[in-house]
Chain A
């Protein structure tokens, strides 16, 4: 009974490794190679030239990482402020034209963001929002918001109005109800939505490029020229850095959430 299960587990693990882990091997090799040409299986010689370039101050990597994270976190915070009331309204109420509202909110998932951004670009030019972080943040909201709303809607679906009514009958006003009853229930949905929002914002190239006009430099903006024909070693190093930042951010969020729950348990266990 046990051994087939173990076998299945190891097969699945292997599959996972091939799909996710394996592509990183040539990436790592490429990032430390010096002239790696066909038909060689392994690079001729190794050098840390690419990493030296990427990690040096002069390349602007760290400011790009900072900009990427700044944009991603502001976008996520704004999304949160927009998505919670939106999800509340969409789940709790039925009103005329509700399907249209949902269609508009979820449209960016289906329609390529590029289409919308061309229009937005013109407006932003007139408003003077291009080449600014604010403009990029605003442009990033359209492809990220649907995921946030979706995740929080699912949380709202499982929250019966009775809970809020119960809190009301115990004397809780609107703010107390939200903080003590609604928010704890939404938290898993918020965490899921925020992770998606951060990841999607971090990976935007085209929107950032068009709205930022090359002045708002995020990691993908730095990375792209090297991929499309520059230096594959440097592109590999950037890719690895980029993946590392994304994974670290998600891990950080996960840890913060776990810490929150632990503190909650610890606080109540003590008192």
Chain B
């Protein structure tokens, strides 16, 4: 058992005279990351995710809180003695050393003999697909290759925890996907615990076992990708995850009424009056065809098609209902005959609707 436990870690930055905006602070974070787990911190830039990462690494001192790995209390341990590894946004390969020496650097610091560490570096380079590149210098490699070397360098010393700070954000999209694939397979192979920081939703969902969504110095929600996507705890999480169908209203007498009164339907009694914001995922909305039988537990709406846009194998259709523009994802077949200004009937399974606090 060597889970990473972060207990109420906290950091406050003093407000300086030059900055007009209020001081940034990271609210106490409590988090346990299991051994071998891939955990992502997802949030917009400036939300404090990199600060949290550096606090865990020990590169900046925390005001409060503790960090444990298994039974080792690491709060007061220097970063170089924590046996963590980190991959930064830039590859930060030492320019005066060859790729091989770069990869072997961590082992050199552990005083491992030259022959042994170069052999380890060689095999790690093969794992990241750079077998014959050992004797080159970093400036002879492309950006993607450099980041592969950085990954190899971080993994070679078998760290207890691998911290990654937006490692692929400087790469172009196709390369990013390739690196994602590589990281996934390497992580599974070496069973390394990863704490990954990103602002890219797709990246986080593709890679992670669990995701923590952060905003403005607070950890808003922790859960499996499916959980946080289907059951966001609040509007902030939902909108950061790209869920744009957010409808504000009131809950009373087991009924939901939207503020513009265009939505009104009965809801389950378990929903509290405070949960007055409705979030609808675009792919849960289905068009109703003429000869369809009404299904129990579904909510039906009437609307007018505003416009449709083709996107990666499906149509994104905007439907106007009252004051709201509902975004729906339809298959090409479904959307084929839809035209702007046409009336349309829609249905949603009431289980797919998510009510959160306003």
Contacts and interface: CB of A to CB of B under 8 A. Distances in A.
Interface of A: 162-163, 165-173, 176, 180-181, 184, 264, 268-269, 271
A63 B100 CA distance: 49
12 contacts: A162-B92, A168-B59, A168-B79, A169-B85, A169-B154, A170-B154, A170-B157, A173-B80, A268-B135, A271-B100, A271-B101, A271-B135
Interface string B117-139: 01000000000000000010100
Contacts of A180: 94, 105
Contacts of A166: 86, 88, 92
Contacts of B81: 171
B98 A268 contact: yes
Contacts of A170: 80, 85, 105-106, 109, 153-154, 157
Contacts of A184: 94, 96
Q: Give the 4 A-B CB pairs with smallest separation, nearest first.
A: A169-B86, A171-B109, A170-B106, A166-B92
A73 B280 CA distance: 76
Contacts of B78: 168, 173
Contacts of B191: none
Contacts of A181: 94
B247 interface: no
A173 B111 CA distance: 12
B135 to A, nearest CB: 6
B83 interface: yes
A169 B84 contact: yes
Given A165-B59, A170-B109, 19 more contacts: A162-B90, A165-B86, A166-B88, A166-B92, A167-B105, A169-B59, A169-B84, A170-B80, A170-B85, A170-B153, A170-B154, A171-B106, A171-B110, A172-B109, A173-B80, A181-B94, A268-B97, A271-B100, A271-B101
B163 interface: yes
Given A166-B88, A180-B94, A268-B101, A171 B83 contact: yes
Interface residues on B, range: 20 to 34
B237 interface: no
Nearest to B114: A271
Contacts of A162: 88, 90, 92
A163 B153 CA distance: 14
Contact of B163 (A169, A268, A271): A169
Contacts of A172: 80, 105, 109
Interface in B56-103: 57, 59, 78-81, 83-86, 88, 90, 92, 94, 96-98, 100-101
A166 B97 CA distance: 14
B105 A264 contact: no
Contacts of A264: 96
Contacts of A271: 98, 100-101, 114, 118, 135
Contacts of B100: 271
B56 to A, nearest CB: 11
